[in-house]
A = this chain, B = another copy of it.
Amino acid sequence: MTFITENLAKEKSFRDPIHGSIVVDNQIILDLINTPEMQRLRRVKQLGTTSLVFHGAEHSRFGHSLGAYELARRICNHLQRNYPTQTPGDGLWDEHERPVVLCAALLHDLGHGPYSHTFEHIFNTDHEQITRQIITGSTHVNQILRRVSPTFPDQVASVIDHTYPNPQVVQLISSQVDVDRIDYLQRDAYYTGANYGLVDLDRLLEVMHPYAGGIAFEMSGMHAIEDYIVSRLQMYLQVYFHPVTRSLEVILDHLLMRARELYEDPQVQTSFEPELLRPFFNNDFTLDDYLALDDGVLTTYFQHWTHANDPILRDLANRFLNRQPLKSVVYDDTTASVLPVLRQLIDEAGFDSHYYTDTNASYKLPYDTYRPLETNPQTQIELIQPNGELVELSTQSRLVQSVSGHKQGDMRFFFPKELLTTDNQGELFDPIYTAFQAHLQNNTIIK
């Protein structure tokens, strides 16, 4: 292990508004931060279209990556101070895991592209897979990781892959309460100004307790976990699932979809050349192609597209850049049957419903016990009793039990706000608008 030999004689620190100081005490970590692959994350917003709703939240994935690293570092210090392993297999903390934990925490978001969720949807990319490629492929990051050992990049990748043998390490990076989730919850709360997202960070870290099967939490810290789960739920309901955010994602999605259709249409004489996107339109891109993308590249093309010949592409590009969201209403299974009627009216009003409407279901499962037969089963949270026994969280917490297993969120239908016009100026469409509005009440579709 040559990680320790690269320890810095003197710590360096990055000032961070959430954690105060992010402390780097090893040359490997410092060099990883300075790679082009990590620096690219400065140009990819953490919250994508959410920054158009919460104007304070324009932070990038770079700061979040540093924050996840810092949490990992603090947790390692806590585990090593309070639970150092004495004999192999005693279920306590093995300090040799520190390098892989720190590197996995720092690098876990490397593969994110611009407006990740929508981009992946249109171009069939997978940010986790790309993260692994960056770590194990021919990159600056890989070269630095190899200084630890030739197999170290694969070890780091396997943590992100959940295949690393030590479950403590895997859970620190990826579980219900991992450094990724804790940092983004705090960071997004700070930048949006949503203090309901704040959790008792110091306490959460202090009650972490290693055991053979992973990381449990001391019984006395149960309320801190409860608060974490509810704070996270609130951030989902109030911030991440905000209807306007989702509306702008719909516009973005349809904009890229339209661009792709035009690109593939041999009839269309494109007035623009989306050079950096071409490999993705062609479904044939290299890692370097991917790493050349960022938020600014996309919005630069959108800027060009506001002058495109195609009126839909032009209009959607303008709506996105100038933040003109669609409106939305809630519906459920019983009122879903109204959607075709609404789409019909929207078409009649002159908006192609293929591009100007959409539905979106956003649901969050606040917590659940481990259900191995489900797709994407959640890891459950274990509490550890004074005598060492483990108990699953929802058996102890009335609050968690009451939200456990119940998804929260809604289904929404998106449409042009013009349909809500009520004044007399749009006389021509008045009957259509009136018909449309008759199906809505209290922001909900009615039958």
Using a CB–CB cutoff of 8 Å, the interface residues on chain A facing chain B are 9-11, 13-18, 20-21, 25, 34-36, 39-40, 42-43, 51-52, 54-56, 58-60, 62-63, 66, 81-82, 190-196, 198-203, 206, 219, 223-224, 226-227, 230-231, 233-234, 237-238, 275-276, 292, 294-300, 303-304, 318, 321-324, 385-387, 389, 398-399, 402-403, 406, 408, 441-443
A52 and B42 contacting across the interface, CB-CB below 8 Å:
yes
A93 to chain B, nearest CB (A): 13
A10 and B441 contacting across the interface, CB-CB below 8 Å:
no
B193 and A196 contacting across the interface, CB-CB below 8 Å:
no
Give 7 nearest A-B pairs by CB, closest first. Answer: A296-B296, A17-B193, A402-B402, A300-B300, A17-B56, A196-B227, A36-B322
Which residue of chain B is the closest to A238 with respect to CB atoms? B223
A15 and B230 contacting across the interface, CB-CB below 8 Å:
no
Which residue of chain B is the closest to A222 with respect to CB atoms? B237
* Contact (A193, B399) CB under 8 Å given A34-B323, A303-B276: no
Q: Which of chain B's residues have a CB closer than 8 A to the CB of A21?
A: 202-203, 206
Which residue of chain B is the closest to A51 with respect to CB atoms? B42
Q: Which of chain B's residues have a CB closer than 8 A to the CB of A66?
A: 55
User: Which of B10, B15, B234, B322 sits near A193, CB closer than 8 Å?
Assistant: B15
A223 and B234 contacting across the interface, CB-CB below 8 Å:
yes
Which of A203, A219, A387 has the most chain B CB atoms inside 10 A of its CB? Answer: A203
Q: Which of chain B's residues have a CB closer than 8 A to the CB of A199?
A: 195-196
Q: With A43-B296, A226-B234 given, name 17 new contacts (CB 8 A).
A: A15-B192, A17-B192, A18-B193, A35-B322, A42-B52, A195-B199, A196-B198, A223-B234, A223-B238, A224-B238, A227-B234, A275-B304, A292-B303, A296-B299, A387-B442, A399-B403, A402-B406
A303 and B299 contacting across the interface, CB-CB below 8 Å:
no
Q: Which of chain B's residues have a CB closer than 8 A to the CB of A16?
A: 55-56, 193
